[in-house]
Amino acid sequence: MKPIRVLLVDDHALIRDGLRSALAQESGFTVVGEAADGFMAVKMVKALSPDVVLMDITMPRMNGLQATREICGPDAAVRTKVIILTLYDQDEHVFEALRAGASGFLLKDCLPAQLAEAIRAATSGDSMLSPSVTRRLISEFIRRPVLASVAESGLMTLTPRELDVFRLLVRGLSNEEIASTLMLGESTIKSHVKHVYQKLCVRDRAQVVIYAYENGLV
pLDDT tens, the chain, 218 aa long: 789 999 999 999 999 999 999 999 888 999 999 999 999 999 999 999 999 999 999 898 899 999 999 998 777 666 899 999 887 655 567 777 777 788 888 888 888 888 898 898 888 776 666 555 555 565 555 555 544 444 555 778 889 999 899 988 887 788 888 999 999 998 999 999 989 988 888 777 777 877 877 776 65
Q: What is the DSSP string of 20-74?
A: HHHHHTSSSEEEEEEESSHHHHHHHHHHH--SEEEE-SS-SSS-HHHHHHHHHST
Torsion of CA 218, 170, 147, 138, to 10 degrees: 80
User: Residue 138: what pLDDT?
Assistant: 54
Residue type, 118: A
The dotted CATH code for 4-140 is: 3.40.50.2300
Tell me where in the chain the CATH 3.40.50.2300 domain(s) lie.
4-140
Separation CA 59–CA 55 (nearest Å): 10
User: Residue 161: what pLDDT?
Assistant: 93
User: Residue 56: what pLDDT?
Assistant: 93
The H or E element that residue 86 is part of is strand 81-86
C-beta of residue 157 within 8 angstroms of C-beta of residue 133? no
Instruction: Say which CATH topology domain 146-214 has.
Output: Arc Repressor Mutant, subunit A (1.10.10)
pTM of the predicted model as reported, rounded to 2 decimal places: 0.70
Q: How many CB atoms lie within 10 A of CB 175?
A: 20
Give first-to-last CA distance, the chain, whole Å: 40
Q: What is the DSSP string of 104-163?
A: EEEETT--HHHHHHHHHHHHTT--EE-HHHHHHHHHHHHHSPP-S---HHHHHTS-HHHH
The H or E element that residue 198 is part of is helix 186-200
Q: Is the dihedral of CA 207, 212, 215, 216 positive or negative?
A: negative
Tell me where in the chain the CATH 1.10.10.10 domain(s) lie.
146-214
C-beta of residue 71 within 8 angstroms of C-beta of residue 80? yes
β-pair partners for 53: 7, 82
* 3-class DSSP state of 99: helix
